[in-house]
Amino acid sequence: MTRIGISALVIALLGVASADAQAPRLRAQVESQRVYEGEPFLYLLTLSNGAASAEPEIPVSDDFKVELVGQTQLMSSSFTVIINGVTTQSRNDQGRRYEYRLTPLRSGRLTIPAATVLVDGTKIQSQAITVEVVGPSQQDIANLEIAVDHTTVYPLQPFTVTLKIYLKALPGRFARENPVHVAWDRVLHIPWVDPEVVSPALSSPDDLNEWLGPLQRRNGWGFNINNLGSPGLFSLFGNNATTFELAAQKVKRKDASGVEASYWEYILSRSFVAKSTGELVFGPVSLKGKFAVENARDPNSSQLNVEPVYTIAPAVKVNVKDVPLAGRPETFTGAVGDFTFHADLTPRQAKVGEPMTLTLTLRGDGLLETAGAPNLEAVPAVAESFKVYEATEETKAHERIFTYSIRPENKEAQEFPAIPISYFSTAEEKYVTVYTDPLPVEISAAERLSANDIVAGGPVRKETESVEVARDGLFANMSTPATLVDERVRPEWWFGGLSAMVVTYGLASVVAARVRTRNADPEAIRRRTAVHRARQRLAGGNRRAAEDPHAAIDAYRAACLGLLADALLVDEQGLTVGDIDRLAHRLDLDVELTRRLKQFVDHCDSARFAGMMAETTPMSKEAEMLVAAMAGELKAKRKLS
Amino acid sequence: MKRWFWTTLLGLSVVVSAKAADVDLATKLVRAQDTFQQAKSKEEYLKAAAMYQEILDAGIVNGTILYDQGNAFMKAGERGRAIACYRQAKIYHPRDPYLDANLQYALGSPAGDVAPLAQLYFWRNWIGYREIFTWMMVFGCSAFVLAMIPIFRPNTRILTRLSLVPAAATLLLAAAGAMDWYRFDYLSHGVVTATEVTARKGNADSYAPAFTKPLAEGTEFTVVDERGGWLLVQLPDGPQGWIPSRDAVIF
């Protein structure tokens, strides 16, 4: 064939394939062509190159139970071919895969009918598939039985499903050996390992780990259950193949020939609770594996034969029915199960009209959440003597608690009466009424106003009903963003502030007292005011200088000598020039200052007494300079303050 | 100039962040109130209570928030925790009639005081914890000012005598404040939150019961000691017993 011819053929085939690939197609597949009766297997329907308007339909068949497990969106795929530089592309559009679990209901060569699906109004059909369904073998080596303790239950009434497995005891000297203590494959398929497989409304109080975890073995002893732990399957039990060793005991039962033989009985039980009415089907359960049997050719041989076995136990049904309407008492409020009923009242002593709290507790196993509060006013003894307010309801583990606020309306009540409540007993399958114990109470009269307390006067008015504030119930919430203020108290800060004020006051008082003491001393006063007084004299002299120069000179002289006398606290009367040296020496005055002072005083004496005329102005200035110099030096020497 | 700019910016950012924190808390409060108003189940009321707790944990502790949290617990059926919240709220709002009414409803009886020697604290229902210290400082400052003036002006010595009146009030309030400080910050109080709990003579289940009846939810006590997950509690009338810490709430 020429090169051109080959290319054309490839292109043509690709064109056909791509054209064919574009048409919608529904393809069916099974995980195995050989399956076992009662054991589900995977059935896949793949729709490609089209979008279905609804799920595919699989014709109803008596041979299979069909359950949709899930569906997956398929991504588009494409491929490119380049031949002799010519590029050809082909693509499959998006599709969908549907996964089903099919459980064969009988053995034999069975056909899974073709499924159909609508794509853009066109019915597309898959191919039918034939599978070989292996039925249970006729043998007495292994047998299964499923039992339930209740075939009829009520919602939330617990019931137990028990699987019993009987394995014939090993022959000869191996009779005492547990047959499952041999690491051969023994696979159990139990549908209710996952309760939701049985029904979405079914649940078990134990989760899988709590139920099977303690039975787990790694040494191959026991049974493989639903391939839990097999590689590739998500399992709580890890990714290694795992088995579960069930509780076992030896029993006697008849074998296939009707002769009593020894069997090992293995029991696996699980409790369930159905949340709604309906029929629940548990099973079938299948067991397949290899089991050791007697060597038929040589029964005395120490070697045993191995025989493959497949057996199933037919399913059992449990009917979940609603509690009956017939015979339902008025005191029934919805509880189903088995319960006791208790009452408590606080306080036991009260005055008429005071609030009391009644707590009724319904305690036991069963359906509690929907039980309503008993109607206390239907109890005549309660209605006669107590006012009852609406109850609050609360559910805790195995308890339903009703809390009432009640008030005694008279003091006649000696006890709070027994309160009835009815529930439907699942054990007895009838309505049962239980009562609380009566509770002794002590009700005294409310306080009354005496006649003297009532002031009469004015026109008689028609009595009107007074409105009483209800004591029960909660008042509304009050917080607003404006109330978001931290009200916490830090007492240490407050006491610290108070202490600071006390200390401040104390210190101020002490200082003030010392100042006052100091200021009251005459000598201190004299020293403190010495300079002021000297300046006052100078000012006085200056004022009188024009009218009376002699008086001015006297003032200037007195200012200087007076300052010296004040510093030493001596009498300034009679001080002369001759005293200046002595005084200056006591005061440790500067020598030059002392000379100037003596010269000035002498000048004043001459002007005053010797009749010599002197200008008062320069004398005033000299006196001011002397006073200032002496004041500075005496203050520096702390002779003056 | 540059330093002035950055200082101002820092100050503004502090103010803004403080304001942002205020807005955040206000938003939390509004959400908590909405959750409470729309709640219909125990879980939803507990969620509202948790939202109030967030505000308390953020440092805004006040009687109104505690009162609202108490309401949320009451609606959720947690009577013990509600009583604890109401008691804490009474520290700050002792005269609130709604708080009193709700506490009484939670207790199922008039709200007495459970602290030891409670009668000594005769002011406990009139004046709140913070108010005592506020008034103490008001009178204290008055006494301080009246006493300081005569120090500087001797001819006003009459003011020294006048200052004795607010000084005496300050002393009384300081004593009351100190007693409340001991009562609220030193003593621990608690409420039983379990439906009922058996108080024992020792801090283990192996000890015999201390009382003839278990303590019911809502029973109030003061904490005397705490050891290894157990509390030694004293009931209002004096008897003591040990209860597991998990069955009570302490405040």
CA distance B60 to chain A (A): 4
Choose between A611 and A274: higher pLDDT.
A274
Tens digits of residue pLDDT in A412-449 = 888 999 999 999 887 788 899 999 999 999 988 876 65
CB A436 within 8 A of CB A343: yes
Residue written as token pair 């100078």: A538
Element (H, E) at A541: helix A522-544
Instruction: State whether residue A89 sits within 8 Å of chain B by CB.
Output: no
Q: In percent, how much of chain A has pLDDT > 90?
A: 31
- For chains A and B, CB pairs below 8 A equal 115
pLDDT on residue A83: 46
Who contacts A574 (Cβ-Cβ below 8 Å, separation ≥6)? none
pTM: 0.42
Who contacts A269 (Cβ-Cβ below 8 Å, separation ≥6)? A160, A161, A162, A163
pLDDT on residue A8: 53
Who contacts A114 (Cβ-Cβ below 8 Å, separation ≥6)? A28, A59, A125, A126, A127, A128
Q: What does A458-489 look like in DSSP terms, one character per residue?
A: SS-----PPPPPP-SSPPPP---GGG------
Exposed e or buried b for every residue in A42-64, given b needs 16+ CB within 10 A?
ebbbbbbbbebeeebebeeeebb
Q: B195 and A471: CB-CB below 8 Å?
A: no
CA nearest B166: which of B185, B190, B131, B141? B141
Confidence of residue A542 (pLDDT cuts 50, 70, 90): very high
Element (H, E) at A523: helix A522-544
Q: Select the residue from A494, A509, A515 to test the B interface by mutation, using most B Cβ atoms within 10 A.
A: A494
Q: A356 and B108: CB-CB below 8 Å?
A: yes
CA distance A268 to chain B (A): 37
pLDDT on residue A162: 95
CA distance B2 to chain A (A): 36
CA distance A514 to chain B (A): 11
CB A388 within 8 A of CB A406: yes
Confidence of residue A562 (pLDDT cuts 50, 70, 90): very high
Q: Select the residue from A487, A493, A511 to test the B interface by mutation, using most B Cβ atoms within 10 A.
A: A487
In three-state form (DSSP H/G/I as H, E/B as E, the rest C), the secondary structure along chain B is CHHHHHHHHHHHHHHHHHHHHHHHHHHHHHHHHHHHHHCCCHHHHHHHHHHHHHHHHCCCCCHHHHHHHHHHHHHCCCHHHHHHHHHHHHHHCCCCHHHHHHHHHHHCCCCCCCCCCHHHCCCCCCCCHHHHHHHHHHHHHHHHHHHHHHHHCHHHCHHHHHCHHHHHHHHHHHHHHHHHHHHHHHCEEEEECCCEECCECCCCCCCCECCCCCEECCCEEEEEEEECCEEEEECCCCCEEEEEHHHEEEC
Q: B68 and A477: CB-CB below 8 Å?
A: yes
Q: Select the residue from A362, A474, A509, A519 to test the B interface by mutation, using most B Cβ atoms within 10 A.
A: A474
Who contacts A393 (Cβ-Cβ below 8 Å, separation ≥6)? A372, A373, A400, A401, A402
CA-CA-CA-CA torsion sign (B103, B109, B112, B115): negative
Q: Select the residue from B45, B133, B156, B215 to test the A interface by mutation, using most A Cβ atoms within 10 A.
A: B133
Give the β-pairing of A108-112 and A95-104: unpaired
CA distance B251 to chain A (A): 14
Confidence of residue A232 (pLDDT cuts 50, 70, 90): very low
Q: A477 and B59: CB-CB below 8 Å?
A: no
Who contacts A26 (Cβ-Cβ below 8 Å, separation ≥6)? A45, A46, A47, A56, A115, A116, A117, A124, A125, A126
Identify all chain A residues contacting B174, using CB atoms and an 8 Å cutoff: 495, 498
pLDDT reading at A458 higher than 60 = no
Q: A478 and B92: CB-CB below 8 Å?
A: no
HSE, side-chain direction, 13 A CA sphere, residue A15: 6
Instruction: State whether residue A499 sits within 8 Å of chain B by CB.
Output: no
Exposed e or buried b for every residue in A193-225, given b needs 16+ CB within 10 A?
bebeebbebbebeeebeebbeebbeeebebbbb
pLDDT on residue A235: 46
Nearest chain B residue to A493, by CA: B133
Nearest chain A residue to B180, by CA: A491
Identify all chain A residues contacting B149, using CB atoms and an 8 Å cutoff: none
Q: Measured between CB atoms, which of B98, B178, B195 is closest to A478?
A: B98
Identify all chain A residues contacting B140, using CB atoms and an 8 Å cutoff: 497-498, 501
Tens digits of residue pLDDT in A344-356 = 998 888 888 888 8
Instruction: State whether residue A494 sits within 8 Å of chain B by CB.
Output: yes
Nearest chain B residue to A403, by CA: B77
Q: B61 and A488: CB-CB below 8 Å?
A: yes
Q: A505 and B148: CB-CB below 8 Å?
A: yes
Tens digits of residue pLDDT in A597-631 = 999 999 888 887 766 666 888 999 999 999 999 99
Instruction: State whether residue A397 sits within 8 Å of chain B by CB.
Output: no
pLDDT reading at A13 higher than 80 = no
Identify all chain B residues contacting A472, using CB atoms and an 8 Å cutoff: 105
Q: B140 and A498: CB-CB below 8 Å?
A: yes
Q: B144 and A501: CB-CB below 8 Å?
A: yes
Identify all chain A residues contacting B29, using CB atoms and an 8 Å cutoff: 479-481, 484
pLDDT reading at A465 higher than 80 = no
A52 DSSP 8-state letter: B
Mark which residues 294-323 of A lie under 8 Å from B by CB.
none
pLDDT reading at A495 higher than 90 = yes
Nearest chain B residue to A512, by CA: B151
CA distance B249 to chain A (A): 19
Identify all chain B residues contacting A498, using CB atoms and an 8 Å cutoff: 136-137, 140, 170, 174
Residue B98 CA to residue A327 CA, distance in Å, equals: 48
> Residue B170 class from Cβ within 10 Å (0-12 exposed, 13-18 middle, 19+ buried)?
buried
Q: A475 and B101: CB-CB below 8 Å?
A: yes
CB A400 within 8 A of CB A369: yes
Helix (H, G, I), strand (E, B) or coil at A284: coil
pLDDT reading at A183 higher than 80 = no
Q: B62 and A477: CB-CB below 8 Å?
A: no
Tens digits of residue pLDDT in A517-532 = 887 888 888 998 999 9
Instruction: State whether residue A472 sits within 8 Å of chain B by CB.
Output: yes
CA nearest A413: which of A443, A436, A435? A443
Give the β-pairing of A186-189 and A285-293: antiparallel
Q: A481 and B104: CB-CB below 8 Å?
A: no
CB B203 within 8 A of CB B227: yes
Helix (H, G, I), strand (E, B) or coil at A435: strand
CA nearest A349: which of A445, A442, A447, A416? A442
Task: With a cut of 50, list the residues of chain B below it in pLDDT.
Answer: none
pLDDT on residue B151: 87
Residue B218 CA to residue B207 CA, distance in Å, equals: 23
Q: Measured between CB atoms, which of A357, A487, A504 is closest to B108?
A: A357
Q: B61 and A394: CB-CB below 8 Å?
A: no
Q: B216 and A346: CB-CB below 8 Å?
A: yes
- Amino acid letter at A567? A
State the virtual CA torsion across A145, A148, A149, A154 in degrees, nearest 10.
-170
Identify all chain A residues contacting B179, using CB atoms and an 8 Å cutoff: none
HSE, side-chain direction, 13 A CA sphere, residue A302: 0
Q: Return the biggest CA–CA distance within chain B.
A: 78
Q: Measured between CB atoms, which of B108, B151, B170 is closest to A508?
A: B151
Q: Return the biggest CA–CA distance within chain A.
A: 179
pLDDT on residue A273: 85
Choose between A300 and B14: higher pLDDT.
A300
Tens digits of residue pLDDT in B61-87 = 889 999 999 999 999 999 999 999 999
Question: Which segment of A76-85, A316-325, A593-602 scores lowest on mean pLDDT?
Answer: A76-85
Identify all chain A residues contacting B213, using CB atoms and an 8 Å cutoff: none
Tens digits of residue pLDDT in A239-271 = 455 889 898 999 999 888 888 889 999 999 998
CA-CA-CA-CA torsion sign (A101, A106, A112, A115): negative
In three-state form (DSSP H/G/I as H, E/B as E, the rest C), the secondary structure along A105-166 is CCCEEEEECCCEEEECCEEEECCCEEEEEECCCCCCCEEEEEEECCCEECCCCCEEEEEEEE
Confidence of residue A561 (pLDDT cuts 50, 70, 90): very high
Nearest chain B residue to A513, by CA: B151
Instruction: State whether residue A498 sits within 8 Å of chain B by CB.
Output: yes
Exposed e or buried b for every residue in A562-577, given b needs 16+ CB within 10 A?
bbbbbbeeeeeeebeb
Residues A16-41 have a mean pLDDT of: 77
> Could you tell me the CA-to-CA distances from A244 to A186, A210, A217, A309 in Å, in that order?
10, 13, 6, 19
> Could you tell me the CA-to-CA distances from B28 to A481, B33, B53, B102 in Å, in that order?
9, 9, 10, 24
Instruction: State whether residue A369 sits within 8 Å of chain B by CB.
Output: no
Q: B59 and A479: CB-CB below 8 Å?
A: no
Instruction: Give me chain A's average pLDDT, please.
Output: 83
